[in-house]
Chain A
Amino acid sequence: MPRGDTVVMPGDHAVILAESDVVEETITRL
């Protein structure tokens, strides 16, 4: 599991929780 200083690399799988009204925007930014 990541910490604040973990650098996320292209190809990594991210598990994200988002409130329903921002899900689409979250996916777009990711």
Chain B
Amino acid sequence: MRILIAGAGLVGTRVAAKLDASHEIVMVDVDTDRIDRLSYDLDVLAVPGDSSAIETLREAGIEETDILIACTDSDEINILTCATAKSLADVTTVARVRDVKYIDTWDQAENVFGVDFMVGTNLLTVAAAAGGTGLSGARNFDVFAGGRVQMAEFAVAPDSSIAGQTISDADRFDSLTFVAIIRDGTTIIPTGETRIRPGDDVVVVGAPDSVHAFGTELSSRETHPRNVLIVGGSDIGYQTARLLEERGLRPHLIEADPGRAKELSERLSATTIKTKDPRDRNFLENERMGDVDTVVAALEHDSEENLLAALRAKRKGADRAVAVVDHGESVELFEEAGVDVAVNPRRATAAEIIAFARDQDTQNVALLEDDQAEVIEIVIDTNSVLADRPIRDAIHDLPEGSSSGPSRGRVAY
């Protein structure tokens, strides 16, 4: 396929790096230095210019393009780029946007903006930040098959029940499969004889109840969340509160700006809003953190304060700390510092776009440990090496370096 990526920032570069081996990639960006560097680093055709301009898209070969991915830092440029491209060619268009109002409009008005697939950065961030709420210690979390299958990554403590056991010994949980071990930053696909060490992270895939039971045993704590504190009333903070309300929770949210706090209190009926400055070092002292299960630090464009708020919350007794981090390269650093889950909006966006662009049968993608491995959900067709065969036979026809756990179910979602 020929894929045109408008915007050579972190999202565009990440998507290109994942797809350039198997697709023809063209990248467009207004920054000529950045686009020049990319053409050396990746196997792409680099075109300088404004992607929303007709002449730039023509120069980039829009007429021969199968998929256009607009992922600049501007929502409006991305939408305009898709609209312009649609007027020039029969191309599938993907737009990355932050502002939920564009997604709401696109959802409600079919085919509006000339956008075929809209990727909401903030909503994906919320899903990553709040998705594992209730799973104590889960570092990475995603859902597949419409929620019937979950993937979660857990740290193995020295006193964990599975520390020192082989995968075969640890494999005693119903409807749960160990798919990877992350050890010293390296992803290992285990065999039955692989021994789990303290300090490892284990990645499991299974039924939601099984993943929850496994997480509970690992943490030795009850993992039903009672009290969630959201730090910062940014759009991500607001959307997180809204998602948790939909799940029946009654979160607390702290926002420094009285006007924004008032606005949020009018929009969030089950959330307790407090007007406090989250950057105040003492604000958590009065929040009875011993009663808080989960803290989501979602201050806008303030990764450092998110890190500090998350770490202070952990020190005060919070069970799970999630922090939004603006720079993808800081995710591992945050987690090494003690944050349970560091969520980078651009990484979450890139994973969603990669899943869309790769193959129509690829339903979802979760990236593990700085892209070393991926968990993919894919619909099996009649030409698949897995089709109509027992897994023990078919697995030999998959490349070395993959492990599978098909989830039976032909119900579309």
Tell me if chain B binds chain A: yes
A residues with a Cβ closer than 8 A to B are: 1-27, 29-30
Of all chain A residues, the one with the shortest Cβ separation from B389 is A7
State whether the Cβ of B149 lies closer than 8 Å to any Cβ in chain A: yes
B residues with a Cβ closer than 8 A to A are: 18, 21-22, 144-145, 149, 151, 175-177, 179-180, 187, 189, 203, 205-207, 210, 358-359, 361-363, 368, 371-382, 384-392, 394, 397-410
CA distance A17 to B373 in the complex (A): 7
A13–B379 CB distance below 8 A: yes
Given contact pairs A1-B175, A25-B399, A30-B380, A17 touches B205 in the complex (Cβ within 8 A): yes
B145–A15 CB distance below 8 A: yes
A7–B390 CB distance below 8 A: yes
Of A4, A9, A11, A15, the residue contacting B375 (CB under 8 A) is A15
CA distance A25 to B373 in the complex (A): 13
Task: Name, among A7, A10, A14, the residue most crowded by chain B CB atoms within 10 Å (CB to CB).
Answer: A14
CA distance A16 to B363 in the complex (A): 11
CA distance A5 to B358 in the complex (A): 30
**A15 partner residues in chain B, CB cutoff 8 A:** 144-145, 149, 151, 205, 375-377, 404-407
**A30 partner residues in chain B, CB cutoff 8 A:** 361, 378, 380, 384-386, 398
CA distance A5 to B176 in the complex (A): 16
Interface CB pairs A-B, < 8 A, 22? A2-B391, A2-B407, A7-B389, A7-B391, A8-B388, A8-B394, A9-B380, A9-B408, A10-B384, A11-B410, A12-B380, A12-B409, A14-B377, A14-B407, A16-B376, A17-B374, A17-B402, A20-B372, A23-B374, A29-B399, A30-B380, A30-B398
Minimum CB–CB distance for A9 against chain B, Å = 7
**A26 partner residues in chain B, CB cutoff 8 A:** 376, 398-399, 402
**B372 partner residues in chain A, CB cutoff 8 A:** 19-20
Minimum CB–CB distance for B264 against chain A, Å = 37
Of A3, A21, A23, A29, the residue contacting B391 (CB under 8 A) is A3
A10–B381 CB distance below 8 A: yes
- Tell me the dominant secondary structure on chain A's binding face: mixed
A27–B362 CB distance below 8 A: yes
Q: Which A-B residue pairs are the 7 nearest by beta carbons? A: A4-B392, A14-B406, A19-B401, A18-B402, A22-B399, A17-B179, A11-B410
Minimum CB–CB distance for A15 against chain B, Å = 5
Given contact pairs A14-B404, A15-B404, A27-B359, A20 touches B371 in the complex (Cβ within 8 A): yes
CA distance A6 to B190 in the complex (A): 20
**A1 partner residues in chain B, CB cutoff 8 A:** 175-177, 205-207, 210, 405, 407
**B385 partner residues in chain A, CB cutoff 8 A:** 29-30
B384–A17 CB distance below 8 A: no
A18–B376 CB distance below 8 A: yes
CA distance A18 to B403 in the complex (A): 6
A23–B387 CB distance below 8 A: no
Of all chain A residues, the one with the shortest Cβ separation from B397 is A29
**A3 partner residues in chain B, CB cutoff 8 A:** 391
Task: Name, among B22, B144, B359, B374, the residue most crowded by chain A CB atoms within 10 Å (CB to CB).
Answer: B374
A17–B391 CB distance below 8 A: no
